[in-house]
Structure formats: structure tokens, C-alpha cells
Amino acid sequence: MRDVAIIGVGQTKFGQLWDKSLTNLAVEAGVKACLDANIDQKDVEVIYGGTMSGGLFVNQEHIASLLSDFSGFKNIPSIRVEAACASGGLALRQAYIDIASGLHDIAVVGGVEKMTDIGGHSVTKALATAASQEWEAFFGATFPGLYAMIAKLHMHKYKTTEEQLAMCAVKNHKNALNNPFAQFHKKIQVEDVLNSTMVADPLKLFDCSPVSDGAAAVVLASKQKAKELCDAPVWISGSGHATDALSLHDREDITTLKATVEAAKQAYVQAKIGPKDIGCVEVHDCFTIAEICAIEDLGFCKKGEGGRFTEQGNTEIGGRIPVNTSGGLKAKGHPVGATGVAQTIEAVLQLRGEANGRNTNAEIAMMHNIGGSGGTAVVHIFRR
């Protein structure tokens, strides 16, 4: 297996982008990444694109061909990757495997979703396709409801509080203030979260990530190409991917996302490090309880201690392990197909020292991307 580096990054603003189409967003992010990598169209050998449901959100499938065409990369391999909200992270892993195997030397990895062209009911229905249709969606379960069950059990077993959940949202909104691409630039307090509209008890509106449009892209290169093209490449030193039962009722313990545990184990072993070596991490905080579970499952604290760990300030910038310096899905936004690639970009910016106003001086960074309620997990570790 060859060493693989990230040599360019690019992203759009996340939010309700009424004046931009799916292709507009994807092309903008891809062009920015290629310019950052100092490459042009002839250098790109393959495209991997993550998108969850173009068919339901914008009535468009065959996304791989479409994006290759509109980006000007005609006649090269272009692969659409779908793993629900982990589509972007899995696209990154597939491109990493491609280059590490020696098949290609330069790949563009993109993630894109245009979610706001349909109404809220239709968005909920589209997202529910990432849950079990037979055993969850058929009975009216939505993702806020599924994660609310996880939160309720976590609170019962480990005495986690609603205030501790709210602290995740408060921290992430504070971090997003220094991210120009974030959907929300608004500071909030614990009381704001607790007093926001109830969505699915105990999760309130400010415990939930928003509906978002946006795209993100990175350029991957083999070691030889990276040294030719880039003065400061960021290396992928660990990559893990695992799955779990799609339905919550088929899992041993719904407060532990075993796909995360296994994917993290793979990445740690490959990188030859442990949780204590990670300088910052982007976790999949689609809901505040998801961040609590993630920091436990990734090994930053013991199972059941995530709420207290957060309350003690350990996940703040300057804390033991800064979590979601970008603002996370909660405040940066969550255009589902783009999320894993955007998490990767934040890791790269941190390692380059280019996360202005939110730098952590990390030497090693991690991203953690989840599909659905944990049916898929992808974890990557990056080094300067």
C-alpha cells in the first residue's frame, strides 16, 4: 500500500442556498480544491463523489456522470458513493484505497447535497430512507426520534443531563463564529437550547443539526505526486470503516455505536497511535447526544462519562481534545453527502494552521462520519 496525501481542499458556504443548484455547488467546491492543489483538469485521473439522495432531494440520479460532465472531467472514471450521511467519508476512503493500491495517482473526492429545494416533510421522508423502512420508518420513527431514544437511555444509565447535551451545542456555535463557511454565526447559551422547541424528548430544536445545502472537495495524491505538487501535504495515516445493524432494536446497546468503535480501532491500529495522540477531532454531531456517544466510542473518555467530560471543558478549543472546531454539523451545517468531506477539510486546515481564529496547533487530527443512526461509520486519522 502506498502513502496517500491530501494536497488541496475547497468548500462552499453551507446553508439555505436558494440561488445555487447541486451542480453549481459541486463545481464550486471542486474548482477551489484543484486550485488549492495547483492542478488542472488534465491531472485528475478519477473522481469519487459522495451524495445521499439526489433523486429525492432534486430529482436527479446518475450523479457521477453529471458531476464529471459539469466539472469538465469528461471520459475519466467517476464513482458516486452512497452511505447515507457517511457518503462523503466513505467516498474519501474509497479514493484513499484506490490511490494506495497504485491504480491512480490523483483523485478528486467531493461531497454535495442540495436539501432545501423540497419542504420539511419531504426532507424528513428522504432522510428516513437511511433508517430501516420495515422496522423503523414504517412505524413513524424519524431520526430525531431514534436519537432521542439513545439520549433517554444514556441519561437513564449514566445520569447524563439535558444541560450537558446543550453544552455541546453551545460550544459548537461558539466555534462556528470563526468559520466563514458555517451556516450559523450566532452565539447561544445553555438556556437557549433548553428553551427551544421540543422536537423529540429530550432533544430540542437547538440539539439538532439543520437542513443544509453545500459541497466540499479534496484532492488526494500518491506520495510521489504529492511531493511534486505540494510543499505541505497532509497524510492519511489511518482509515477505518465498519457497519452495524441498521435498526436500533437489533443492537446490544444503543448507547454504543459499535460501528464507530470498530472503525476507530482499525484507524488507530493502522496509524499506530491511540486516542491520547489525537490533537483535534471532527465528530458526527447530527444531534448533541451523537457527540456525547462519539467521544466515548472513539476512546476519548470512558463509556458513560461523555456528558461530564464535556461539562468539564475537555472538548473546548484549548481543552484535552478539541471537538468540532468547525462548528460541527450542529452549527457548520449538515448537507448530508458533503459532511464527511467537510470534516476532512477542517482537519486539514487545523494541521496546516489555517483554521483562523480556531487553530489548535494539532499535529494529528481525526474525522468521524456516521450514516443513519450508526449503521455505517467511517474514521480517518491525518498527520502533518
Say yes or no: 12 and 70 in one domain. Answer: yes
> What span, in angstroms and rounded, lies between the C-alpha atoms of 51 and 85?
8
Which of the residues are catalytic? 85, 334
In the chain, the number of structural domains is 2
In a domain, 129, yes or no: no
Residues 242 and 197 in one domain: yes
Is the pTM above the cut of 0.85?
yes
Cβ neighbours of residue 330 under 8 Å, at least 6 residues apart?
Answer: 168, 169, 172, 173, 208, 209, 285, 288, 291, 324
Is the domain of 265 the same as that of 286? yes
Residue 131 lies in a domain: no
CATH for 256: 3.40.47.10
Based on the fold, state whether residues 220 and 259 are members of the same structural domain.
Answer: no
Task: Give CA–CA dist 162/193, Å, rounded.
Answer: 9
Polymer length of the chain: 384
In a domain, 128, yes or no: no
| Domain presence at residue 108 | yes
Q: Report if residue 125 sits inside a domain.
A: no
204 and 218, same domain (yes or no): no
Q: Is there a single domain that holds both residue 100 and residue 229?
A: yes
Range of the domain at 79: 4-119+212-234
Residue by residue, pLDDT tens for the chain (384 residues) are 899 999 999 999 999 999 999 999 999 999 999 999 999 889 999 999 999 999 999 999 999 999 899 988 889 999 999 999 999 999 999 999 999 999 999 999 999 999 999 998 899 999 999 999 999 999 999 999 999 999 999 999 999 999 999 999 999 999 999 999 999 999 999 999 999 999 999 999 999 999 999 999 999 999 999 999 999 999 999 999 999 999 999 999 999 999 999 999 999 999 999 999 999 999 999 999 999 999 999 999 999 999 999 999 999 999 999 999 999 999 999 999 999 999 999 999 999 999 999 999 999 999 999 999 999 999 999 999
For residue 126, tell me if it sits in a domain: no
Of 13, 12, 9, 11, nearest to 39 by C-alpha is 9
Answer yes or no: do 13 and 56 share one domain: yes
